[in-house]
Amino acid sequence: MSGQGASGFAGLPLAVEVDYSLDDIIGEGSFAQVFRAWDSGGGMVALKMVRPEDHFDDLPFDRTESDEQEGDDEFSYSLVLQSLQDELKSFQTVGRHPSIVEIVAASEVGDMVVMEMAEIDLYQYIHRHSKFLTLDLIQSWSAQILHGIDHIHKSQIVHMDMKTSNILIRCDGSVCICDFGLACRVEGHKEVKKELVTLWYRPPELIMGCTKYSNSVDMWGLGCIVLEMLLGRPAFQGRNDARCTCTVSRHWNFNSDQLMQIFTLLGTPEEHEYLQSMSCYRHFNFWPIFPRKLEQSIQASLLVIGGRKNASAVLCEVEAWMQLLTSCLQFNPERRVSARQTLACRIFSSVPQADESDDSPKEEGSRNLCARLSGMPRRSSHGGSRFQTSACLQAQVPSASPNQNV
């Protein structure tokens, strides 16, 4: 490669565009495009490139109050480049791990990033192939994601965007966390200064107006991901148009429909003093008391996924899954347990503890998944080898919560 021996941004191997043969676009947003590409050795990679600088000249910018508070004038090329550079720094801080997408190389200034290729993201897989999700596979993937979150949190980094579209499925059936575009360093707690976390995965303390957050926001996201795999759909699908319209500046994250969907499934919290301490309390204190329905929903899903008729066996599994979900889906973030503690839940007792360099054979469910992915349409690549071409459409474009632009 022409960049061999040199360094890219943040000490990564140098990526030079001429060293890669670009194929079709597999994902794009307002600020970047992602291409399927082949390196000089014929290996398939995902190559993310920031759009040219002149693309940003006439780009409409929807200002929000949080933008005004932070002093952002417009969305410029330099701002987008800074965001991507920050993401690369977060990747470097966290370091390599089997449950985190691998960054292969980057350009000198970070406007081009080369990443490992994945088959599909978890959101798409659930949407298209939920009938193939077995309990063993859900169990294995949940454990792998938790190991990734634990590794991230050890570096005092919070991912801030844990959702199924940011979980990639490799062709070997393993999963990894991607998109650190919203990640930030948090030592203990950090002040809320703007809209945070994609709406459907936003934890209730942010919605209700809590002024500080911690790495527990990632654990709520993990609980939503597990729920989505079990239910076959996102559990809390709030409407974007239900945002707070009051004049209180710190109600950036409030969304009445999202909070009501959480209350409807998990029940109204019994911690009245905690609720009253939230700055958005007046927006929901007149709501009726919602009964908890989570256990019934999980039991119904397990009957479908497991295909069991034995009620006692299903009840036993419901209890094991509920232990996991309850540890993550606590209304009070101080009561959510860490990723490391969550791995001790009974549901993972049969899952081998992953080593950070683990290349052990995958479970039977993952092998069956590999077989399905191998049956997808293929095409010939450069050099005569054959590679999978079903790639994640969203995985490599930085995502943001509704009304966020970075």
Q: How far is the C-alpha of 241 from the C-alpha of 263, rounded, in Å?
A: 18
Examine the residue annotation and report whether 58 is marked as an active-site residue of this protein.
no
The secondary element (H helix, E strand) that includes residue 213 is strand 212-213
* Residue of 211, 202, 203 lying closest to 251 (CA atoms): 211
The partner residues of 115 in beta bridges, in order of sequence, read: 46, 103
Say which residue the tokens 């932070």 belong to.
Answer: 70
Token look-up 């490139």 returns 49
Other Cβ atoms within 10 Å of 293 Cβ, number: 12
Length of the chain: 406
Specify whether the CB–CB gap between 94 and 158 falls below 8 A. no
Six-digit token string for 127? 């949407």
Distance CA 268, CA 264 (A): 7
Distance, in Å, from the CA atom of 23 to the CA atom of 36, rounded to the nearest integer, reads 5
The C-alpha angle 49, 102, 32, rounded to 5 degrees, equals: 15
Per annotation, catalytic residue among 161, 179, 358, 359: 161
Both structure tokens of 81: 């480049």
- Please choose, from the candidates 78, 223, 89, 77, the residue with its C-alpha nearest in 3D space to the C-alpha of residue 157: 89
48 is in an annotated binding site: yes
Residue 64: C-alpha distances to residues 80, 240, 258 (Å): 17, 14, 20
Binding annotation: 48
Binding annotation for ATP: 48
- Catalytic positions are 161
